[in-house]
Amino acid sequence: MTGEHFVEVLATGPQKAIYEPRRFVILLLGSYGCICSSLSYAFNLIAPEMQSRYDLTGRDISTISTVGLVVGYFLMPYGFIFDHFGPKPIFILSMVLFPLGALLFALSFRGTIEGSVARLSFFNAILTLGCTLYDVVYMMTIMSHFPISRGPVVAILKSYIGLGSAIVGSIQLAFFDGRPDHYFYFLMVLFFVTGSAGFFLVPLPSYHLTGYEEKHLGIEEKERRLARKSVYLRQQPPTIRFAIGIAFVVLLVIYLPLQSALVAYLGWGRTQRIIFASILIAVLVELPLMALPVSCLERGETQREEDDCGGTERPSAGDEVANEPAAAGGPPKKVETDVDYIAPQYQTTFLQNLKTLKLWAFSGVSSPWGGLCL
């Protein structure tokens, strides 16, 4: 390593400000999507019924669960697809894999398909892979929309991944207890709805060029789109919107364990479980509050920038807005680079990184606690 870093000079021409409500709609859809990405744990909720139905041992259940986890961790080929074509192929794959796995589980509980350890392992594998692809596509895409605010974005999205199994478990106990086939039909619909919303409304920002676009777009078009990166680096997202999103996370962190404890220790029946689940659904329906298009949720400087642009036109989610050149003869402006706003990326190749202590130290920490996705 030479210590040399390649920096990118940011465009200085006037551009439209990012429309923050639309950007936070993308984060909102990502929150719902991350809840669905935890649906791989749906298998654990019906494991006792499956064990009794097919006379499976604890070792059989462990095998079925482990096969799903192993398949779900092998993500490198899908990373290549994401880098070259963007998020849409990954959305399509996930919307095929998870509903198919859920449908096969539902049919096995209805008696249409006879279950065995091998078959159930296969069903769980494709279901888990569909969930994991959701995690990848939402996290990678949304972080590109918030390049200087990845901390709160990751905190919100990963929290919903952790809370998702408890959320779905509460709904399952209230409305689908003893009806696992209906439960899987519900998961199919939920997953497909969130996936369809993500497919149409969660694109990469225009400055993020895929491998296919790098090869097929003209030079002028690529320069115009790359110039939009300066806006994403300079415009701070409103803190109040992040605060609302994190407040919902804190509320759910308190509510879900409290609900579970009350139901378990007080022996409450189905009526109480339905009440708790209905309150939970009402809380989830309120998540769009962080994306409301109201001025009180905006930063003052962002609002002024939008007003200076004039008109009511808003950039699309992909921000396909041309970069207008700076006025000729104007005063010289300070040259800014991407390193002024974000830490530089590693400049070494993958093989060179394999020889560094940092990578292996990170791998050693990640493997026992969060799993290392290959």
pLDDT (tens digit, 9 = 90+) per residue, 72-94? 888 888 989 999 999 999 999 99
Residues 252-276, mean pLDDT to the nearest whole number: 89
**What is the percent of the chain where pLDDT is above 90?**
46
Residue 27, helix vs strand vs coil: helix
| Closest to 94 in 3D by CA, of 23, 162, 194 | 194
DSSP for 90-108 reads HHHHHHHHHHHHHHHHHHH
CA angle 188, 36, 294 (to 5 degrees): 115
Whole-number pLDDT of residue 313? 39
Tell me the pLDDT tens digit for each residue of 163-222. Answer: 998 999 899 989 988 888 899 999 999 999 999 999 999 999 999 999 999 999 899 999
In Å, how far are 17, 142, 289 from 57, measured between CA atoms?
59, 41, 46
Report the b/e string of 109-128 with b at 16+ CB within 10 A.
beeebebebeebbbbbbbbb
Residue 70 CB partners (closer than 8 Å, separation 6+) = 125
Residues 109-123, mean pLDDT to the nearest whole number: 89
Phi, psi angles (nearest 5°) of residue 337: -125, 170
In this structure, the dihedral spanned by the alpha carbons of residues 27, 129, 164 and 245, taken in order and rounded to 10 degrees, is -10
DSSP for 202-246 reads -PPPTT---HHHHHHS-HHHHHHHHTTHHHHHHSPPPHHHHHHHH
In Å, how far are 108, 246, 305, 327 from 322, measured between CA atoms?
53, 34, 16, 15
Per-residue confidence band for 327, with pLDDT thresholds at 50, 70 and 90: very low
Residue 326 CB partners (closer than 8 Å, separation 6+) = 12, 13, 14, 333
The overall average pLDDT reported for the chain is 82
Whole-number pLDDT of residue 5? 53
Whole-number pLDDT of residue 368? 46
Task: Evaluate whether 323 touches 228 at the Cβ level (below 8 Å).
Answer: yes
Domain extent listing, the chain? 20-343
Stretch (H or E) spanning 191? helix 180-201
Task: Evaluate whether 160 touches 28 at the Cβ level (below 8 Å).
Answer: no
Q: What are the structure tokens assigned to 88, written together? A: 């849409």
3-state helix, strand, coil in the chain (%, to 5): 70, 0, 30
- Three-state SS across 240-257? HHHHHHHHHHHHHHHHHH
How much is the CA Rg of the chain, to the nearest whole Å?
23
What is the spatial distance between Cα 42 and Cα 138, in angstroms, rounded to a whole number?
Answer: 20
Phi, psi angles (nearest 5°) of residue 235: -90, 115
CB neighbourhood size of 74 (10 A): 12
Whole-number pLDDT of residue 202? 95
Domain 20-343 in this protein, CATH class: mainly alpha
More confident residue, 268 or 245: 245
Per-residue confidence band for 223, with pLDDT thresholds at 50, 70 and 90: confident
What is the spatial distance between Cα 338 and Cα 255, in angstroms, rounded to a whole number?
Answer: 41
